[in-house]
């Protein structure tokens, strides 16, 4: 063990001093994580990428794949001396709050948009069906080799969902940075991704319930019925109560744009209770956070105030912790054979082909030209944070191995880095073609 670690752990004799030594190590981890996350976000933006891309890369670099390989003793002191429990709990609390924000910022108007409705529905369905089918086949036939401890069906279902998900928040940021939020292709992409995500989260909740029951269909049916009952009660009973509670502070929200402490405390308690309820129902607590966000998504003054106060803290503090926690689970060095790298390449290829191919074929069938279909295919391939949430759920349930986890992290990173340069190139080519057409006239 590193000498500093021995001093931090073994020198104090009292419980108080031991707690202080533990706090020192946790604060050291948090300092490194927060600063590295900010640096990664800034650098990513300078290279024309979303800040989340840099934060994900930094999280992976802080894990055994780079930091642990280059400086194993220092890595061990920083991240292995203290027990993982505190950091894991911070990661889960942050993820619960982040899922609340995702639900809070979910714009259901996208699901009702009439503009290009045929293309939207076609792209959404194709981008679920094709990658899900490819993931199901890949997961089922690779499970005995890559995840031998997991039931093949359970592994296949999680790989299928992982290949099917689209990262709506990251896609929204990309469209804003490219000034495409009101363009027809932007409306189609964000609307299709919204439908994609609704179906994806429902599938993840159902598959989580199925795996948690040991693939016993009677227990699964009972759990699904309880989850549906909880969602119904939340929508019919809890939603009006929460909206009435929030509206008591409407004047203050409009005047100051800040969250009243009582309002913040009440909403946080509701998020935690909802997470506790979904946990007791046999699915992950994060679904409770997402549901509570959905219940309040149309309280615009509250959404704006949350985003500017609590939301910023979650993105700056909790989100890098989640990325680093994922990085600590990812060991690229574990892919130590050509066969494993072959499986990794196949995973990335099928994930890309499934999303891109589904969107491209659906768009072409609806009358869009090759360039527009290409842009939609690239946009729908964005996975990022949503992908990491899905694969962490699968890893916690034990249905995917660490090697499969690493492969899916690589796939998530690849599908998040690629869209911006490809779309910029396609848009620039479209502008050049239009200028040439005008010139030839």
- C-alpha angle with apex 307: 306 to 313, nearest 5 degrees? 90
| 128 in Cβ contact with 196 (< 8 Å) | yes
| 67 in Cβ contact with 258 (< 8 Å) | no
What does the buried/exposed string (b/e) look like for 291-315 if buried means 16 or more CB atoms within 10 Å of the residue's CB?
bbbbbbbebebbbebbeeebbeebb
Q: How many CB atoms lie within 10 A of CB 251?
A: 10
What is the model's pLDDT at position 387? 82
Task: Spell out where 238-345 has E strands.
Answer: none
Q: Residue 314: pLDDT band by 50, 70, 90 thresholds?
A: confident
Q: Long-range pairs for 357-362 at CB < 8 Å and ≥24 separation?
A: 357/130, 358/123, 358/126, 358/127, 358/128, 358/129, 358/130, 358/131, 359/123, 359/126, 359/127, 359/192, 361/126, 362/119, 362/122, 362/123, 362/125, 362/126, 362/127
Record the tokens describing residue 139, joined without a space. 């997961």
pLDDT tens figures, 196-208: 877 887 888 888 8
What's the mean pLDDT in 320-327?
84
In the chain, the N- to C-terminal Cα span, in Å, equals 75
Higher pLDDT: 249 or 115? It is: 249
DSSP 85-123: HHHHHHHHHHHHHHHHHHHHT--THHHH--TTHHHHHHH
Q: Residue 44: pLDDT band by 50, 70, 90 thresholds?
A: confident
Percent of the chain past pLDDT 70, that is, above it, reads 88
H or E element at residue 186: helix 184-212
Q: What crossing angle do the helices spanning 384-397 and 319-329 adopt, rounded to 10°?
A: 50
What's the mean pLDDT in 338-348?
94
What's the mean pLDDT in 355-373?
89
**Distance from chain centroid for Cα 323:** 10
| 146 in Cβ contact with 403 (< 8 Å) | yes
- Judged against a pLDDT cut of 60, whether residue 8 lies above it is answered with no
What is the model's pLDDT at position 136? 93
pLDDT tens figures, 55-78: 888 888 888 888 888 888 888 888
| 167 in Cβ contact with 138 (< 8 Å) | no
Mean pLDDT, all residues of the chain: 83
């Amino acid at each position: 063990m590193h000498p500093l670690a021995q001093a931090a752990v073994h020198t104090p004799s009292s419980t108080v001093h031991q707690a202080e030594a533990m706090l020192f190590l946790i604060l050291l981890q948090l300092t490194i994580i927060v600063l590295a996350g900010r640096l990664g976000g800034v650098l990513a933006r300078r290279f024309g990428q979303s800040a989340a891309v840099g934060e994900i890369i930094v999280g992976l670099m802080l894990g055994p794949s780079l930091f642990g390989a280059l400086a194993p003793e220092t890595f061990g002191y920083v991240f292995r001396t203290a027990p993982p429990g505190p950091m894991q709990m911070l990661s889960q609390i942050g993820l619960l709050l982040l899922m609340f924000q995702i639900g809070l910022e979910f714009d259901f108007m996208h699901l009702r948009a009439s503009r290009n409705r045929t293309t939207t529905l076609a792209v959404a369905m194709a981008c679920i069906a094709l990658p899900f089918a490819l993931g199901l086949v890949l997961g089922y036939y690779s499970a005995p080799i890559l995840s031998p401890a997991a039931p093949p069906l359970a592994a296949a279902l999680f790989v299928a969902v992982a290949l099917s998900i689209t990262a709506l928040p990251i896609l929204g940021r990309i469209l804003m940075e490219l000034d495409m939020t009101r363009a027809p292709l932007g409306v189609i992409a964000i609307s299709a991704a919204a439908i994609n995500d609704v179906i994806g989260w429902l599938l993840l909740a159902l598959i989580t319930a199925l795996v948690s029951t040991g693939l016993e269909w009677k227990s699964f049916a009972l759990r699904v019925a309880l989850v549906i009952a909880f969602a119904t009660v939340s929508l019919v009973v809890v939603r009006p109560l929460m909206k009435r509670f929030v509206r008591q502070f409407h004047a203050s929200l409009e005047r100051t744009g800040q969250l009243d402490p009582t309002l913040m405390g009440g909403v946080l308690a509701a998020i935690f209770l909802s997470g506790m309820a979904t946990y007791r129902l046999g699915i992950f607590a994060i679904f409770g956070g997402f549901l509570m966000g959905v219940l309040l998504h149309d309280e615009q003054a509250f959404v704006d105030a949350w985003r500017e106060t609590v939301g910023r803290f979650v993105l700056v503090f909790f989100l890098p912790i989640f990325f680093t926690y994922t990085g600590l689970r990812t060991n690229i060095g574990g892919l130590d054979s050509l066969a494993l790298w072959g499986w990794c390449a196949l995973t990335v290829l099928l994930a890309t082909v499934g999303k891109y191919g589904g969107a491209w074929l659906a768009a072409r069938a609806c009358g869009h030209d090759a360039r527009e279909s290409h842009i939609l295919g690239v946009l729908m391939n964005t996975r990022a944070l949503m992908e990491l949430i899905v694969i962490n759920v699968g890893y916690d349930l034990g249905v995917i191995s660490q090697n499969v986890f690493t492969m899916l992290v690589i796939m998530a990173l690849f599908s998040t880095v690629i869209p911006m340069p490809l779309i910029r190139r396609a848009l620039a080519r479209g502008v050049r073609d239009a200028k040439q057409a005008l010139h030839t006239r």
